[in-house]
Structure 1
Amino acid sequence: MKVWKVALAALATMGLQPLAAQMERVPDRASDEGEGPFGKLLIRGATVIEGSGAPPAGPVDIMVEGNRIAALYPGGAPDSEAQGAQRVVDAAGMYVLPGFVDVHGHNGDEGKAAQPSYGYKLWLAHGVTTVRGVSFYFGPGTPDLSDASRSAANTITAPRLIPYIVFGDKWSGGNPDTPAKAREWVRWAKTQGYWGVKFFNSSSPEVLGAALDEAKKQQMGTVAHLAQTGVAEVNARTAVELGLGGVTHFYGHFESLLKDGLPYYPENYNYFDEQSRFAWVAQLAPQAVEPGSEKWDEYIDFLVDSGVTLSPTFNIYSASRDVMAAKTRDWHAKYTIPSLMDFYAPSATNHGSYYKDWTTEDEVAWRKFYQKWFKLTKEFHERGGRVTAGSDPGYIYQTWGFAYIGELEMLREAGLSPLAVIRAATIDGAREIYEPRGEAPPMGRIAVGQLADLVIVPENPLANFKVLYGTGHTRLNREDETIEQVGGVRWTIKDGIIYDAQQLLADVARMADEQRAAAQQ
């Protein structure tokens, strides 16, 4: 079977079939969805967590003009300025952060979530104002670019959408199986309007190297899912040496750190059997060298020196260490639509729905795997490497928006400080997207001149990331001894447009209710 056919087969097993032709069109933004932008919008009395790693400061008034931050007033805006605002948001006692950047997004497909606004609204409801789609949809004739254009014009209710394309996808020129054809495909993707390329390592090193080199020349970003099917030739070290800009997931790292030359798989291993594939992933960790060893330290230094970015997406595999917890998350009952819950259920075919015989031994192996993966990421971060936040939603009990907050919690578990997690989720995510273009990111910090992409939260997320979940956080009120639900994003501002996060969640709950009702008819 040719490499191209192998790649398509791999996509199919991952639930990435080109089904977007059957997806519903994202409706135009309704008149009651979002307010603004305004000539002048004043956000009053907030504590600002500005995104670079600087500590919180407040109260601060933030003046937004159109879609840009025009001024910051520590202690409060002068009356002469405040009186000119067409809209005032009272954020006294609340926390304002830059809009979150999800560097690893996919949209649904007809079998999971046929209406893309389901995912878009969940992202916005959790403060995510920018998403890099890798890809949003797969296959020719799909609306990646039109959705991105409509979002940029704010004619749909959606985050800012940054379209990447899977290498070889969507064009009619055949398999880009030579260096010359790989370069031709990259140039074609650039002319279509894609910002970057997502690679699966099904190409030869020569073809991959040519594509990466051409992408750099075209000022396109690059990221790779270095799957087990190609990692014997191209692991993370090899891909970075060839010029890869970002490694996502864990793929390729442990294969770069093996005690022996190749990973061991049992004689009955089958990559296309999802349970076999994911159960044996955890067995890579004990085959790799130990933290602190010469090979381990040299590899991390190599990654840091190369300037590669790691977006680990810890959350997407978290069910592997406790599947019962994952399938009973607080939000599933109200916000996860039935078709998505059906997709998550154990299945012989659906990507990531592999818990058909998931045992205690499997979960223990994955917990140990995470310990080593966390250690690698933390040391990379501590030595100056850039880590960003991506959620890879729509698989393995990870629902849009909620999955992103789960990733922030797991970055914290890996050892990043709360401020470092926020930096990964904001300015560093923006830098990963814009640096290949030779541009300073227009968002990612709360600073004068930046785009007005902001998150306003009633509770302090640095003390507890759980207050960012749409379902909030359960807490005892010690004054009256009652149990209360606190937190949740209050407002998400994208491009100077104020979205009521609670209303967005209500819209999503309605979608879920309607699908349940239709199923009962």
Structure 2
Amino acid sequence: MKAWKLALAALVAIGAPPVAAQMEPVPARAGNEGEGPFGKLLIRGATVIEGSGAPPAGPVDILVEGNRIAALYPGGAPTAEAQAAQRVVDAQGMYVLPGFVDTHGHNGDPDKAAQPSYGYKLWLAHGVTTVRGVSFYFGPGTPDLSDASRSAANTIVAPRLIPYAVFGDKWDGGSPDTPALAREWVRWAKTQGYWGIKFFNSATPEVLGAALDEAKQQQMGTVAHLAQTGVAEVNARKAAELGLGGVTHFYGHFESLLKDGLPYYPEDYNYFDEQSRFAWVARLAPQAVEPGSEKWNDYVDFLVDSGVTLSPTFNIYSASRDVMAARNRDWHAEYTIPSLMDFYAPSATNHGSYYKDWSTEDEVAWRNFYAKWFALTKDFHERGGRITAGSDPGYIYQTWGFAYIGELEMLREAGLSPLAVIRAATVDGAREIYEPRGQEPPMGRIAVGQLADLVIVPENPLANLKVLYGTGHTRLNYETGAVEQVGGVRWTVKDGIVYDAHQLLADVARMAEEQRAIRAN
């Protein structure tokens, strides 16, 4: 099959909407949505978790001028600076982290959430101030670039949006199925304003190699979902050899570690039947060599030496090991809009809605699969490889924002320390985005000169990442006997603008309630 046709098949397989114009336009930011930026904003009395892996320190006053961190004052700012501030955020007893970076974002399916601000506000409410869209929308004429531009100007309520385009998508120049056309498409995408390229491994090694080489010359980032339709020719090892910058999900890894050549699939396997496809994903792990074996160690060392970044997106497949739990998450009742819950339900057509007859055996196979996937990720991390945090939201019971915090929890489960998880979510995510451009990222750490992208949370996330969920963490008060919800992000600062996370969540809850009311009439 032609590479272009395989690419189209891959887009269909991930549930890309056929007509992006069906999405509603993002409304302009209203006057009561966020405060600032200010000439001087003072965040007072916080314990700072600065992002690089350094331990917490506090109390610290953080002075922001416009959209940049101007000064850090251990113990407290001078009186004159405090008095000159137009806005003071009292963060005494709270924790401040760099704004989170989600390296795997999507938006743009009207069957799920027709208003993009639904996802944008959920991201911000969970402290996510930068999202790499891979892609935000699929198809030509889509608003990836305009949304990114409006967010950069802060005329909409949204994280900083970094637009990537899927290889071959969005233009009308025909199939980029030769090395020459691949290079032409990459140059075209660069001139349009895309920062990078998402591959689905549909191209031949020659075409993929040309596209990756051209992307490097154009200082564009590259990341791949190495789909099973092309992994026989290009697994993760081969893609890294060709110059790929990042591997997302698990695809391509176990195919690089098989005991016996090609993977085994049963005679009735069908890639386009997602129940079959995802049930057999888990059965791939036993076909791979064991952790600690010579082939395993050689592969991990190769990945580290190649400089490739791994963005596992553990969370997006987590329902596979307990679909009942995923279907009944705390946030669905209030914050997951009915159309999204409809999309999540078992379906023959909706991508990720593949639990049509999901059994105990399937869940056990996936739990065992995760054990091996976690081991690979931990080994890569411990040998110096870069891990970043991506959530791939809007599929498989993974609602925007909540899914991102779920990913942080699963990185911890894989064996990263709490400080390493925060580093993956902040500075390392920023570096994955800016490194191909030859730039140090302007955000990702709490340091003088960095963009004022910050997360302010009442509880210590290093002790319990659950306090970052919008629904908070359930705790028994031993003194009163009351069951309390604690935590939840209190304020998210993006570009020096202070957003009330509680208000953002209230806006989302209202969207869900309005849709429920419409359906009831």
CA distance in 2, matches of 1:431, 1:18: 33
1:118-154 deviation line (CA, Å, top 9, x unaligned): 0000000000000000000000000000000000000
CA distance in 2, matches of 1:13, 1:285: 22
SS in 2 for 1:113: coil
Matching residue's letter, 1:399: T
CA shift, 1:12, in A, is 1.1
8 Å Cα contact 1:103-1:429 kept in structure 2: yes
CA shift, 1:482, in A, is 1.3
Aligned to 1:289: 289
CA distance in 1, matches of 2:406, 2:482: 27
Aligned to 1:189: 189
CA shift, 1:4, in A, is 1.0
CA distance in 2, matches of 1:482, 1:172: 61
Runs of 5+ in structure 1 lacking a partner? none
SS in 2 for 1:229: coil
CA distance in 1, matches of 2:19, 2:79: 55
8 Å Cα contact 2:122-2:400 kept in structure 1: yes
Aligned to 1:82: 82
Question: Please, what is the CA RMSD of the aligned residues?
Answer: 0.6
- Amino-acid identity (%): 88
CA distance in 2, matches of 1:437, 1:13: 31
CA distance in 2, matches of 1:368, 1:423: 27
CA distance in 2, matches of 1:20, 1:457: 36
Matching residue's letter, 2:202: S
Aligned to 2:232: 232
1:450-484 deviation line (CA, Å, top 9, x unaligned): 00000000000000000000000000112222111
CA shift, 1:352, in A, is 0.4
1:309-362 deviation line (CA, Å, top 9, x unaligned): 000000000000000000000000000000000000000111000000000000
8 Å Cα contact 1:40-1:87 kept in structure 2: yes
CA distance in 2, matches of 1:223, 1:112: 25
8 Å Cα contact 1:457-1:488 kept in structure 2: yes
8 Å Cα contact 2:35-2:498 kept in structure 1: yes
CA distance in 1, matches of 2:113, 2:363: 28
Aligned to 1:341: 341
CA distance in 1, matches of 2:362, 2:108: 28
CA distance in 1, matches of 2:507, 2:17: 28
Aligned to 1:505: 505
SS in 1 for 2:84: coil
CA distance in 1, matches of 2:390, 2:347: 25
Aligned to 1:22: 22
Matching residue's letter, 1:471: T
Matching residue's letter, 1:453: D
Return structure 1 stretches of 4+ with deviation > 2 angstroms. Answer: none
SS in 2 for 1:62: strand
Runs of 5+ in structure 2 lacking a partner? none
CA distance in 2, matches of 1:244, 1:10: 19
User: How do residues 370-381 of structure 1 correspond to structure 2 at under 5 angstroms?
Assistant: 370-381=370-381
CA distance in 2, matches of 1:301, 1:8: 34
1:31-53 deviation line (CA, Å, top 9, x unaligned): 00000000000000000000000
8 Å Cα contact 1:255-1:288 kept in structure 2: yes
Matching residue's letter, 1:117: S
1:402-453 deviation line (CA, Å, top 9, x unaligned): 0000000000000000000000000000000000000000000000000000
Aligned to 2:63: 63
Is 1:203–2:209 an aligned residue pair? no
User: How do residues 256-295 of structure 1 correspond to structure 2 at under 5 angstroms?
Assistant: 256-295=256-295
Aligned to 1:367: 367
User: How do residues 51-130 of structure 1 correspond to structure 2 at under 5 angstroms?
Assistant: 51-130=51-130
CA distance in 1, matches of 2:442, 2:3: 39
SS in 1 for 2:63: strand
8 Å Cα contact 2:108-2:138 kept in structure 1: no
1:465-519 deviation line (CA, Å, top 9, x unaligned): 0000000000011222211100000000000000000000000000000000111
CA distance in 1, matches of 2:211, 2:3: 15
SS in 2 for 1:104: strand
User: How do residues 271-420 of structure 1 correspond to structure 2 at under 5 angstroms?
Assistant: 271-420=271-420
8 Å Cα contact 1:18-1:140 kept in structure 2: no
CA shift, 1:226, in A, is 0.2
SS in 2 for 1:83: helix
CA distance in 2, matches of 1:133, 1:519: 31
1:172-225 deviation line (CA, Å, top 9, x unaligned): 110000001100000000000000000011100000000000000000000000
CA distance in 2, matches of 1:6, 1:416: 36
Matching residue's letter, 1:44: R
Matching residue's letter, 1:87: R
CA shift, 1:2, in A, is 2.4
SS in 1 for 2:342: helix
Aligned to 1:172: 172
Matching residue's letter, 1:335: Y
Matching residue's letter, 2:49: I
Q: Identify the range of structure 1 (190-199 vs 1-10) with the bigger mean alpha-carbon deviation.
A: 1-10
SS in 1 for 2:373: helix
SS in 2 for 1:479: coil
CA distance in 1, matches of 2:260, 2:229: 18
1:49-108 deviation line (CA, Å, top 9, x unaligned): 000000000000000000000000000001011111000000000000000000000003
CA shift, 1:7, in A, is 1.6
User: How do residues 430-509 of structure 1 correspond to structure 2 at under 5 angstroms?
Assistant: 430-509=430-509
Matching residue's letter, 2:250: F
CA shift, 1:18, in A, is 3.4
8 Å Cα contact 2:7-2:168 kept in structure 1: no
CA distance in 2, matches of 1:108, 1:457: 30
Matching residue's letter, 2:418: P
8 Å Cα contact 1:389-1:424 kept in structure 2: yes
8 Å Cα contact 2:99-2:454 kept in structure 1: yes
Matching residue's letter, 1:135: S
CA distance in 1, matches of 2:58, 2:14: 46
CA shift, 1:17, in A, is 2.9
SS in 2 for 1:444: coil
Count, aligned residues: 521
CA shift, 1:520, in A, is 1.2
The normalised TM-score by structure 2 is: 1.00
CA distance in 2, matches of 1:226, 1:252: 5
Matching residue's letter, 2:400: W
8 Å Cα contact 2:466-2:473 kept in structure 1: yes
Matching residue's letter, 2:314: F
Matching residue's letter, 1:306: S
CA shift, 1:10, in A, is 2.1
SS in 2 for 1:353: coil
8 Å Cα contact 1:18-1:137 kept in structure 2: no
Matching residue's letter, 2:131: V
Aligned to 1:163: 163
SS in 1 for 2:191: helix
Matching residue's letter, 2:259: K
CA distance in 1, matches of 2:108, 2:398: 12
CA distance in 2, matches of 1:477, 1:449: 41
